Amino acid sequence: MKTTYEVKIKLFNETEYKGIMTEEHNKIYIRSYIDLDDYETMFKSLYEDGYVKVDETDKVEMRKFNSLKEILQYLKNDFDITYQVIDDNFLFSLVAEGKDLHPETIAINKEGMKLISLAQNFYNCANNINYEPKVKNFASSFGVGIQEIEGNNEKLIEIISDINNNKFLDINRFFNDKIYNKLVRALLDVLSVKTLDKLTLNINNKPYTLQLNSIKQLKQDYERALQSKIVDIKIEPKNSLRAFDDKKLKADLDYSLFSKNWFRLHFDSKELFEKLQNNYKNNLTTNIKGNLISSQTIQVTKVY
């Protein structure tokens, strides 16, 4: 049986310790977020060895603990400690394996944030929702669980299958579907975790391995598609066109689908450039079509 606790210790109303602890198969796993006085070592020592106490009369008291809960209850005698059980019944979880990705790794670092983002974007894409689902890290692995009550896990399994079979990338959808765009970028971003060896999604108590080679192939396909992509983008009035350069026929477009949130537009003719300017001034929805020169530069060939 696996039980996970969120634990806090305060001293003079200031947080001295905060972390999560998982007890599983007679082992304790700890992930500390705040530890100002090496409390983690104390927890491990109590769990593994118990304690030996000598009183003023040299009487020796020895004690072994049967569970993590016993330790937490015992420490209430000497510490301002609070703890609560974290529900491990996740809708699904994402677990990473690899060198330096182990229970003691601090979750709130670059690698941890990339995993959290990937898990959240899997949930959003499977459920077609732009939302920040509730997540919980757990201590027994470098992983994150999605703590939502409902979700389309069948669609999630389908997405994993498409990724593993190199069928997931749709460059047109990438440019027009914000939710899908974010998942693609989260997948590409997780490749920068250099020590990552394996990614597993646990869905309905069943593991689904996400093939890293397939994500690498996705990256290659994405980069290749950018080089030959003809883009057709709808510019809503809420999008901001700015920094018009009348001499060079260039403009910058704030466009929320992209990581840097803007595009540089190059126009084939003055007429196209002026049409976009006029549409923008009159608060009109406009479509532009052109060739993608780079991930953030479009050579505009049509405005309509």
- What span, in angstroms and rounded, lies between the C-alpha atoms of 286 and 288? 7
Greatest Cα pair distance, the chain, in angstroms, is 97
Q: What are phi and psi of 158, to 5 degrees?
A: -65, -40
In the predicted structure, residue 107 carries a pLDDT above the cut 60: no
Residue-level pLDDT at 171: 86
User: Which pLDDT belongs to residue 176?
Assistant: 79
Q: Which two three-digit tokens encode residue 272?
A: 């196209």
Percent of the chain with pLDDT over 90: 50
pLDDT on residue 258: 47
**Per the structure block, which two tokens stand in for 298?**
């479009």
Per-residue tokens: 90: 């996740």
- Nearest Cα neighbor of 267 from 282, 250, 288 is 250
Closest CA to 265 of 221, 300, 218, 232: 300
Q: Residue holding tokens 């069948």?
A: 154
The pLDDT value given to residue 218: 96
Please tell me the predicted confidence (pLDDT) of residue 257. Answer: 46
Tokens 């937490």 found at:
72
> How many Cβ atoms sit within 10 Å of the Cβ of residue 228?
9
pTM value is 0.65
Confidence of residue 62 (pLDDT cuts 50, 70, 90): confident
Question: CA dihedral in degrees (9, 29, 109, 210; nearest 10)?
Answer: -150
Please report, for the chain, the start and end positions of each structural domain, with discontinuous segments joined by +: 3-86, 92-228, 230-303
| Nearest residue to 138 (alpha-carbon basis) of 114, 112, 110, 103 | 103
DSSP state letter for 78? T
User: Residue 99: what residue type?
Assistant: K
Residue count (the chain): 304
b/e for 167-187, b at 16 or more Cβ within 10 A? ebbebeebbebebbbbbbbbb
> For 239-255, how does the pLDDT look when each residue is reduced to its tens digit (9 = 90+)?
678 789 999 999 998 86
CA separation for the pair 34, 243 (Å, rounded): 45
CA angle 228, 114, 41 (to 5 degrees): 160
* Centroid of chain to Cα 69: 30
**pLDDT at 231 exceeding the cut of 60:** yes
In one-letter notation, the amino acid at residue 81 is: I
Which whole number is the average pLDDT over 53-78? Answer: 85
pLDDT at 64 over 60: yes
pLDDT level of residue 106 (50, 70, 90 thresholds): very low
On the 0-12 / 13-18 / 19+ scale of CB atoms within 10 A, 202 is: middle
